[in-house]
Amino acid sequence: MYFFLSNLSFADICVTSTIIPKMLVNIQTHSQAITYAGCLTQMYFFIFFTGLDDFILTVMAYDRFVAICHPLHYTVIMNPRLCGLLLLGSWLINHMHSLLQSLMVLRLSFCTDLEIPHYFCELKQMVQLACSDTLLNNLVMYIAAVILAGGPLAGILYSYSKIVSSILRISSAQGKSKAFSTCVSHLTVVSLFYCTALGVYLSPTSTQGSHYIAIPSVIYTAVTPMLNPFIYSLRNKDLKGAVKKIFGRVDYKE
């Protein structure tokens, strides 16, 4: 679990590093201009690391499934070789996907004085602003969304259906509580990620305004990566004790 958590943290840092520095520069310089090459580069890395985030969350769901449903075989199934292969596969698949989407945007032509109604170069917005035919781009984009977003989501839902079924068979209430507590952090992060991301990408184009898009985008590009370390750290007893001391919930004895 901690191996995947470290990689999830790395992906979160990269997602925010792809967008936030440029946004801060824009605020400081009062200029929102970005070069064409810079826009494509930002789009590539955003697609790559966001997809990597999604895949790692899926792998973590499988990790929780093995830990709860097959605890005696956990160290055998989730061996270092399998963990490395799962991570390597996630990197390769998302690299190919982000490269494909970037090359598809390269084939489009854009009008002069282009203004992106977003705070970063987001794929869907770029395709909508093209002056040339975007049918193929939209087709590839939605097929990729179904496979690379719907597939992992289906994997997460399947893993947790098995987890819930296994937990309900536990006789003791303490055992059930302990099993559920190992999944709360992951479920919270998954809910934040998918609710905001799917809200942006699966909504009809006609209903999308710049404010409608920007608000959920900020949540899954900046707020969610920032909250992830806190959400997972709340399982740590030492951190809980420190938080209680800060808010004065611990009675000190002399």
Q: What is the pLDDT of residue 95?
A: 95
Q: What range does the domain containing 36 cover?
A: 2-229
Residue-level pLDDT at 115? 80
Structure confidence at residue 133 (pLDDT): 85
The tens digit of pLDDT for each residue in 195-208 reads 777 666 665 544 44
Whether 236 is covered by a domain: the verdict is no
Terminal-to-terminal C-alpha distance of the chain: 39
Predicted pLDDT at 237: 59
HEC-encoded secondary structure of the chain: CHHHHHHHHHHHHHHHHHHHHHHHHHHHHCCCCCCHHHHHHHHHHHHHHHHHHHHHHHHHHHHHHHHHHCHHHHHHHCCHHHHHHHHHHHHHHHHHHHHHHHHHHHCCCECCCCCCCCCCCCHHHHHHCECCCCHHHHHHHHHHHHHHHHHHHHHHHHHHHHHHHHHHCCCCHHHHHHHHHHHHHHHHHHHHHHHHHHHHHCCCHHHCCHHHHHHHHHHHHHHHHHHHHHHHHCCCHHHHHHHHHHCCCCCCCC
Whether residue 240 lies inside any domain: the answer is: no
Q: Quick one: pLDDT at residue 210?
A: 54
The domain tally of the chain equals: 1
Q: Which CATH number fits the domain that encloses residue 24?
A: 1.20.1070.10
Both tokens of residue 16?
A: 């925010």
Q: Which residues contact 150 (CB under 8 A, 6 or more apart)?
A: none
Condensed to tens digits (0 to 9), the pLDDT of residues 3-58 reads: 888 898 899 899 889 988 888 888 888 888 888 888 899 999 999 999 999 999 99
Quote the pLDDT of residue 242: 60
Whole-number Å distance between alpha carbons of 138 and 199: 17
At residue 254, the pLDDT reads 43
Asked if the structure places residue 254 within a domain, the reply is no
Asked if residue 7 belongs to a domain, the reply is yes
Residues of the chain with pLDDT under 50: 205-208, 250-254
For residue 88, is it within any domain? Answer: yes
Domain assignment present for residue 206? The answer is: yes
What integer pLDDT is reported at residue 194 of this predicted model? 81
Residue 249 within any structural domain of the chain: no
Instruction: Kindly state the tokens that stand for 1.
Output: 């679990």
Domain assignment present for 248: no
